Amino acid sequence: MPDTLSRPAPQTAPAPQTAAAREAALDALSALLGQRLSRKPADLDHHAHSEAWYPATPPDAVAWPETTEEVSRIVRICAAHGLPIVAWGTGTSLEAQALATEGGLTLDLSRMRAIRALHAEDMQVVVEPGITREELNAELRATGLFFPVDPGANASIGGMAATRASGTTTVRYGSMRDNVMGLEVVLADGRIIRTGSRAAKSAAGYDLTALMLGSEGTLGIITELTLRLHGQPEAITSAVCAFDSFEAAVETVMATIQMGLPMARIEFVDEDVARAFNAYARTDMPEKPHLLIEFHGSQAGVAEQAEAFGAIVAEMGGADFDWAASTEARNALWKMRHGAYPACLAWRPGSIGLVTDICVPISRLAEAVAETRADIRAEGLVGPILGHVGDGNFHAILLLERDNPDELARAKRVAGRMAERALAMGGTVTGEHGVGIGKRAYMQAEHGEGWAVMGALKAALDPRNLLNPGKLVPETPSPDARA
């Protein structure tokens, strides 16, 4: 398998992009946007890196559109001059999806953050892409509804859609795939299309919504989303419990799924994460693998579920079973979980994190985690493991000394073997972080000829490769991919 996590060699520019063409495009954009087009070093630098370890790659300029029509005009200008366009939400993606690795324009959608319509009676909301999930849920609080997808970061809804995000609540409420009903999208030629509808389901043709979700800005720019909302549960109960082995923890999860208990969240953290929490948050968790679980439902329902879950835990030898009855205790629990990344980084002071994720069938999860942990240790690395265990999805946070090429090389080997392991087990090289440039070299191995098909679809909708070039699809579809 290729050495994927290295930054790929610079690609050829997507279109014959001369300095003169670039300047002409930027002049036209500047005339359209005024101060909302910037070439200031501080703005370029802010959009040059995301939360992940990738080297900085500043764009040529940053634009802050305010309307769909403006996005369309920007795209037409860029298309006329062959200038690449990369959409930007909050910059929290983990595989460099929002980085302008081939230069061009970063389209920062943070000024498009309005709620365009609330359809409370249909449990739907229509939003612009720049609103973040926390902002949206704050706005929804009084309605009794909420948007459940929770990738951890306070990402923009548009970015979550573009990367088909999932997270702690996916085991119950699904991912963006399940909770986006429709989109407004600006295509590579500036046309504006609407996908999906406000109906709960449809059999009216190709599922363009699903095609756009996870396309990472390579097929179009999302300018509006119709989201499915859920009722705030009447009752919530959370618990944390320790296990002697992660096998016992995983077996507990499998038994819980097979019993049909509707977990709203079920998260695994290994003993290293527990140690990092203890150091960072001054908790006193046993330094063992833990499960963090939550049930949503009626008072009677969650009580029944908690009791059934407690019986499984006891059977599997779980201990220190601690129900967080109060809202405060529950918030503290999930704040801790969401703080795992900084906690782990702080655990090895000064380190950078190479975070990678895979997803496997749950029957293979214990094996996948065990082999990954053994591999991390064999390479002499420090790498806490945690994950959305109900989905068979886990992350390794490989803590690396900054500017240590040897550690980086070892970490890439570990991440590469994780991806191979996922495929050998019938899984996927990324459950939620996406492809970007980091997982692109594994796409052929995962999809075979299907990757060429993705290239053919990209070529059909963006023949000049203007939208987020260098990401996700093969650089140039082979001629036979289109026939």
Q: Is 264 in the site for a copy of itself (CB under 8 A)?
A: no
Least gap, CB of 99 to a copy of itself (angstroms): 17
Q: Is 204 in the site for a copy of itself (CB under 8 A)?
A: yes
Measured N-to-C along each axis, helices 365-378 and 246-258 cross at an angle, to the nearest 10 degrees, of 160
Residue closer to a copy of itself by CB (options 382, 466) is 466
Q: Give the span between the Cα atoms of 414 and 419, in whole angstroms.
A: 9
> Looking at this protein, which amino acid is placed at residue 296?
H
Residue closer to a copy of itself by CB (options 41, 231) is 231
Q: Is 478 in the site for a copy of itself (CB under 8 A)?
A: no
Q: Give the span between the Cα atoms of 322 and 17, in whole angstroms.
A: 60
Q: Is 51 in the site for a copy of itself (CB under 8 A)?
A: no
Taking CB under 8 A as the criterion, the residue among 11, 49, 118, 233 binding a copy of itself is 233
Contact in structure between 182 and 209 (CB atoms under 8 Å): yes
Residue closer to a copy of itself by CB (options 67, 478) is 478
> Looking at this protein, which amino acid is placed at residue 344?
C
Residue 104, phi then psi, degrees to nearest 5: 100, -155
- Show the tokens assigned to 36: 């909302």
The interface region with a copy of itself, picked from 34-42, 252-260, 279-287, 347-355 by CB under 8 A, is: 252-260
Residue closer to a copy of itself by CB (options 194, 377) is 194
Site string for a copy of itself, 354-373 (x = CB under 8 A): -----xxxxx----------
Alpha helix (H) residue ranges in 297-442 = 299-315, 327-338, 340-347, 365-378, 405-424
Give just the sign of the alpha carbon dihedral 179, 47, 105, 98: negative
Residue closer to a copy of itself by CB (options 31, 193) is 193
Residues between 123 and 182 that touch a copy of itself (CB under 8 A): 123-124, 163-166, 170, 174-175, 177-178
Q: Is 66 in the site for a copy of itself (CB under 8 A)?
A: no
Q: Is 414 in the site for a copy of itself (CB under 8 A)?
A: no
Within 10 angstroms of residue 11's Cβ, the number of other Cβ atoms is 15
End-to-end CA distance of the chain: 28
Strand partners, 68: none
Q: Is 32 in the site for a copy of itself (CB under 8 A)?
A: no
For a copy of itself (CB under 8 A), the number of binding residues is: 96
The interface region with a copy of itself, picked from 57-65, 193-201, 274-282, 378-386 by CB under 8 A, is: 193-201
- Show the tokens assigned to 11: 């690609």
The interface region with a copy of itself, picked from 67-75, 336-344, 410-418, 427-435 by CB under 8 A, is: 427-435
Contact in structure between 89 and 158 (CB atoms under 8 Å): yes
Residue closer to a copy of itself by CB (options 281, 423) is 423
